[in-house]
Structure 1
Amino acid sequence: MLVTTADLHPALIDLLLMTAQSLHDQAGLFEDAGQFPSAHKLSLPLNEDAARFHRRGPSFLQRVLPFWAATLLDRWLVMALPLLTLLIPLLRIFPPLYGWRIRAKISRPYRLLHEIEHACSDPTLKQSPGKTPAMDRDDALKRLSALDKSVENLRVPATYQADLHALKFHIQRVRDNLLNAQKNDSDEPPLSG
């Protein structure tokens, strides 16, 4: 009978039973071949790992790999399976989350562009709570130039380049509208009265 303390490492239990199996594999005067080690007729409780070994024998990894490699890989698999069950949902969440983050980088300049366009579209706007204050065209053109420079520094993956080019196009369109309005204002003949 092999007796150990309760805190013996499970890998050592497998190693002890494999060694006992190889030592007592041959038939002796009082026993048959392969009769020992056995889980029968024990006076002490059987360890769970020893019971597993008696039911299944050494694991596949222990039969084909050296003991240290089989034990390491077996323990890693025990830890990896729960991690994989957590990782699979995370892998499904990651692409939409990444796309949202990239679109957020592009939408921030769009908000600024909308504010500039709205402030320049109605020169009668007064500074009041909840409304964008009106701004003159020169200030709007300066803010558009600064916005354009910040957009030039944006780095996005190739799949989002179309969104970035659309943003640049809209900035240019607002700039052209402001310049055309400025040109039309300067081309008007002075009022004579």
Structure 2
Amino acid sequence: MKLVEAMRDTRESLRELLLPAAPVILLAIGLLVLAYFWLDPNPPKRVVLATGLARSAYDEFGQRYHDALAPYGVEVVLLPSQGSLDNLQLLREGRADLAFVQGGSNDPPPGREESLVTLGSLFLEPLWLFYREDVYRDEVARKAGARHLLSLTQLEGLSLNVGSSGTGVPVLMDKLFRANKVDSGRLQLTRLEETPATAALLDGQLDALVFASAPESLMVQMLLATPGVKLMDFSQSEAYSRRFPFLTPVVLPRGVVDLAQDQPPDDVRLVATTTELIAREGTHPAILQLFAQAANDIHGPAGWFNRAGAFPVTQRSGYMVSREAERVYRSGQPFLQRWLPFWMANLVERMWIVFGLVVALVLPLSRIVPPLYTFRIRRRVFRWYGKLRELERQLQLHPERAPELLRELEALDNRTERIVVPLAYVDEFYELRNNIAAVRRRAWVAAEASVPATGAEAS
């Protein structure tokens, strides 16, 4: 019984406390709801990643990002394209949220392009210039044996595929031709996609082809293992890197393709661009964070041209570097995501500053809750003192009305008996009951005194 009464008192105290605190609580909830819709902390469930041609390195990496973000409930829709230039256009038109873009494939914008941000450089894309060993078709050259190509100037008079116009390779090759003072008019240039160009090379319809791609590309792997197809050695790779900041000299080590067959039989010097992951500035920060985390896992291991941990990396670019990516590369996975589900960790991470501001705003207002609580409880008791005082005044002015006033006092006592107050204020409740009892005694005395007087008058 005592436990039930204690629980009832506790419940009543909490109810009474919540009523004066309700405006402050509703204000805090309203501010948090407004901040939620303003900040939009939950990322979209669908994001579009512009990749490249089918079976290209961009296509392969795009599938890896698709698989990496799937456990977080984010669907990465892969949007095929012609290449880097096409990807930039898709970003600027808003048809893609993120895209792979090759360094040097586009003339740098004046200053920084505010509509796009970079998540950093992800991997190296060497410039692969494959050619047929029998490119010298005249009898003298055949007797002397096929020569190795060591310079772009040796391509004059040959048929060369530089890639489709949507890729960045035609732009890059044009820069390299100008640097080598090669007249492109003396070349038989074609602009086929990688697959038909490779077929034309193998059929003897092309003398050479060039494309930029990571070594993970299936086309690169196939051509490196194809007899009769050679890879041009860029003997001036260091000079290219000094002339063009977006190029890096790399070496394809001997035997890295096939140790058993010793392929390639010698080190091959190449020049490489770096591929960046570019995003529209309006892309949700949580999406950028997830892509940066996936980039660490996908591009962090060692490769043919880099040691473990060399990528991803932020570097000087024509685009602003994403703050989310910088934080992930600097600190790794956020602390909360290690212990909480992604959606919850992301919600707390995006909202905690707002939550602190709301607390700072509501805390001063909360100081009025205790006085309001006290006022409500004491008002429940004190409001009956007005009625009691009026009855006492009537008793003093009109003692002959004592029986009538006594009945009103009894009714007042009955009503106040049903008042429920927390234990902390029960003394004031009993004080009210005592005061009512005192006035009742006076009214009873006055009523008793009036009875004989009435009887005497009747006789």
TM range (shorter): 0.7 to 0.9
User: If each structure's strand is expressed as a fraction of its own residues, which one has the higher value?
Assistant: 2
Q: Which amino acid aligns with 1:143?
A: E
Who wins on radius of gyration, i.e. which is larger?
2
Residue aligned with 1:45, SS: strand
Write the letter of the residue equivalent to 1:139. E
User: Would the aligned equivalents of 1:20 and 1:37 in 2 still touch at CA under 8 Å?
Assistant: yes
- Report the secondary structure of 2:321's partner residue: coil
Closer, same or farther: CA 93–54 of 1 in aligned 2, 3 Å: farther
User: Once the 2 structures are TM-superposed, how far is the Cα of residue 24 of structure 1 from its aligned partner?
Assistant: 1.5
Task: Select which of 390, 395, 406 maps to 1:120.
Answer: 395
Aligned length: 181
Confirm whether residue 162 of structure 1 aligns to residue 437 of structure 2: no
Q: Is residue 2:318 matched to residue 1:43?
A: yes
1:172 aligns with 2:437: yes
Contact 1:27 / 1:33 at 8 angstroms: preserved in 2? yes
- How far the C-alpha of 1:140 sits from its partner, in A, is 1.6
* Structure 2 residue 450 is the aligned partner of structure 1 residue 181: no
Quick check: 2:416–2:433 contact (8 Å CA) kept in 1?
A: yes
What is the distance in 1 between the residues matched to 2:384 and 2:341? 60
Name the residue aligned to 1:145: 410
Aligned partners of 1:157, 1:81: CA distance in 2, in Å? 33
Q: How does 1:6-85 map to 2 (within 5 A)?
A: 6-85=281-360
Deviates more, 1:172-181 or 1:39-48: 39-48
| Alpha-carbon distance in structure 2 between the residues aligned to 1:158 and 1:65 | 42
Counterpart Cα distance in 2 of 1:45 and 1:10: 14
Of 31-40 and 79-88, deviating more is 79-88
1:101 aligns with 2:352: no
- Match for residue 125 of structure 2? none
Higher mean alpha-carbon deviation, 170-179 vs 60-69, is at 60-69
The Cα offsets for residues 33-76 of structure 1, whole Å up to 9 and x where unpaired, read as 32322221222112333333344332111234443443244345
Deviation at 1:162, TM superposition (A): 1.5
Q: Displacement of 1:174 after TM fit?
A: 0.3
**What's the RMSD between the two structures over aligned residues?**
2.7
Distance 2:339 2:301 in 1: 22
Contact 1:119 1:135 survives alignment (8 Å) = no
Cα distance change of structure 1 residues 66 and 155 upon mapping to structure 2, 3 Å threshold: closer
Displacement, 1:94? 2.5
Q: Is the 8 A contact 1:61 1:70 kept in 2?
A: yes
Could you tell me how far 1:30 is from its partner in structure 2?
Answer: 3.3
Structure 2 Cα separation of the partners of residues 108 and 81 of structure 1: 40
Q: Which amino acid aligns with 2:375?
A: W
TM-score, normalised to structure 1's length? 0.78
Q: Which runs of 5+ in 1 are unaligned?
A: 124-133
Structure 2 runs not aligned, ≥5 long: 1-275
The answer (yes or no) to whether the contact 1:26–1:33 under 8 Å persists in 2 is: yes
For residues 154 and 42 of structure 1, do their structure 2 counterparts lie closer, same or farther at Cα, with a shift above 3 Å needed? same
Which stretch of the first structure deviates more once superposed, 105-114 or 5-14?
Answer: 5-14
Per the alignment, residue 131 of structure 1 pairs with none
Report how far residue 148 of structure 1 moved.
Answer: 1.3
> Residues 183 and 72 from structure 1, CA distance in 2 versus in 1: closer, same or farther, beyond 3 angstroms?
same
Counterparts in 2 of 1:43 and 1:30: CA distance versus 1, 3 Å: farther
Q: Percent identity?
A: 33
Q: 1:3 aligns with which of 256, 261, 278?
A: 278
Letter in 1 for 2:317: L
Q: Which amino acid aligns with 1:74?
A: E
Match of 2:3 in 1: none
CA contact (8 A) 1:137 1:178 kept: yes
Shift of 1:3: 1.0
